[in-house]
Structure 1
Amino acid sequence: MNCIKWLTAPLLALGLTACASYYPIAVDVNPAPAQVGGGVYRGQTLALSSADNRASDFIIQIEQKDKSPVVVGAANNLRLQMEQALAQGFSTQGAFIEQGANTRATLELQEVLSRVIRGHISYDVVQKVRVQLVLERDGRRVVKQYRRSAQQEFPGRLHPELAPVTEALNQQLSLMVQDILADRDVQSFINGN
């Protein structure tokens, strides 16, 4: 009988941790390159940098009734991914990205989160993305705020599949990059107007 108690405790603990470890600790985030037209800039130079000012570094939070939330991070550097997508977009539009350029742009991540909320036979996914772009040149400074949010429902009785959640988040991040690249105020500032 004592042997059974000795085996039961570790098996119970293993079973409980198996539920928590069902989800990966990180997922790949990779915003798609922006599909933008060229000819916006005629060889203007731009120094581009980024900062991650988010309160938390996880990007997915899974919420189930009577359970502690499970959080999932990004497997790659989200700040760098967004900066590279933006740099590629500016380059496609005709700008040259150079570190010592007189015109500077800093992309600041403020919130990137997908909340996965358990329903009866499905999961609601609420996504919020918020970034700020700071443009500077010759003592002049322009700050632009960008926000995107979306809500979707995914089927699932036991556990939500994270692949479609990650894909939906990638889509929001890609649209955010396109919003910045299409912003007339940004284009005007970089062009020196």
Structure 2
Amino acid sequence: MKLLIPILLSTLLLTACASYEPTHVGLNPTLGAVKLQTEADFPVMVDTIDTREASFVVRFNEEGKAPRLVSASEPVRQQLEKLFRNGMNKAGYVIDPAARNSVQFQLNYLLADVTDSTFSFESKTRLVINVLAKNSQQEFTKSYNANGYLKGSLSPDFATLELDITQLVDKLTTEILNDEELHQFIQR
């Protein structure tokens, strides 16, 4: 009898832990290596907007069930805003809301589509960020894309998905912040 109670409690606790499904993913993008683009303290207005149709970042698809949608724990737009502002500062620009030249970073698409089967999972992540730069005479638009793929046994753990999405964001934002064509336009 003394042994039965701890076994029952342990089973109950393990069952409760196994059925827990997080409701948010914690993304933590970081600023990659950004090259200095100007030494003249060039003023530029920087803005980041989220134009996605849906705010979730992970969609779990299991056969016979409705998709389970998971959002980011912190708004992705705010994380990108901080990243792009820091990156533009590191590139040598002075962020000035009254500047004549402006750059708008538009989060157009971010989704990890996870297909979960009994013994394995597959995750396909897609990220699209559009950039709209303006000076007094012209506009510059460019779309940047990145895709990620992850495959594993059993069900995916959130830490793995978070890391995969974060690395994709890091890679694409670094590519954008080091795009010489964009910087040549901004400095006109």
In 2, Cα distance between equivalents of 1:154 and 1:33: 28
- Aligned-pair distance for 1:22? 3.2
* Preserved contact between residue 54 and residue 109 of structure 1 (Cα < 8 Å): yes
Structure 2 gaps of 5+ residues are 1-15
Structure 1 gaps of 5+ residues are 1-17
Match in the other structure for 1:102: 100
Counterpart residue identity of residue 83, structure 2: A
Match in the other structure for 2:5: none
In 1, Cα distance between equivalents of 2:45 and 2:153: 44
- Aligned-pair distance for 1:155? 2.5
Matched position secondary structure for 1:87: helix
Tell me which of 165, 168, 177 is aligned to 1:169: 165
Match in the other structure for 2:149: 151
In 2, Cα distance between equivalents of 1:97 and 1:168: 30
Alignment partner of 1:160 is 2:156: yes
- Aligned-pair distance for 1:119? 3.7
Match in the other structure for 1:24: 22
* Preserved contact between residue 35 and residue 178 of structure 2 (Cα < 8 Å): no
In 1, Cα distance between equivalents of 2:33 and 2:53: 30
CA RMSD, 1 decimal: 1.7
Match in the other structure for 2:122: 124
* Preserved contact between residue 134 and residue 186 of structure 2 (Cα < 8 Å): no
* Preserved contact between residue 51 and residue 106 of structure 2 (Cα < 8 Å): yes
* Preserved contact between residue 63 and residue 117 of structure 2 (Cα < 8 Å): no
In 2, Cα distance between equivalents of 1:36 and 1:59: 26
Counterpart residue identity of residue 62, structure 2: Q
Matched position secondary structure for 1:112: strand
Matched position secondary structure for 2:63: coil
Matched position secondary structure for 2:115: strand
Match in the other structure for 1:186: 182
Counterpart residue identity of residue 47, structure 1: M
In 1, Cα distance between equivalents of 2:44 and 2:153: 44
Counterpart residue identity of residue 186, structure 2: I
Alignment partner of 1:34 is 2:32: yes
TM-score when scaled to structure 1? 0.83
TM-score when scaled to structure 2? 0.85
In 2, Cα distance between equivalents of 1:37 and 1:51: 24
Matched position secondary structure for 2:100: coil
* Preserved contact between residue 113 and residue 125 of structure 2 (Cα < 8 Å): yes
Tell me which of 133, 141, 147 is aligned to 2:131: 133
Q: How does 1:44-123 map to 2 (within 5 A)?
A: 44-123=42-121
In 2, Cα distance between equivalents of 1:106 and 1:93: 16
Name the % identity.
21
List structure 1 runs of 4+ shifted beyond 4 angstroms: none
Matched position secondary structure for 1:176: helix
* Preserved contact between residue 57 and residue 71 of structure 2 (Cα < 8 Å): yes
Matched position secondary structure for 1:32: coil
Matched position secondary structure for 1:177: helix
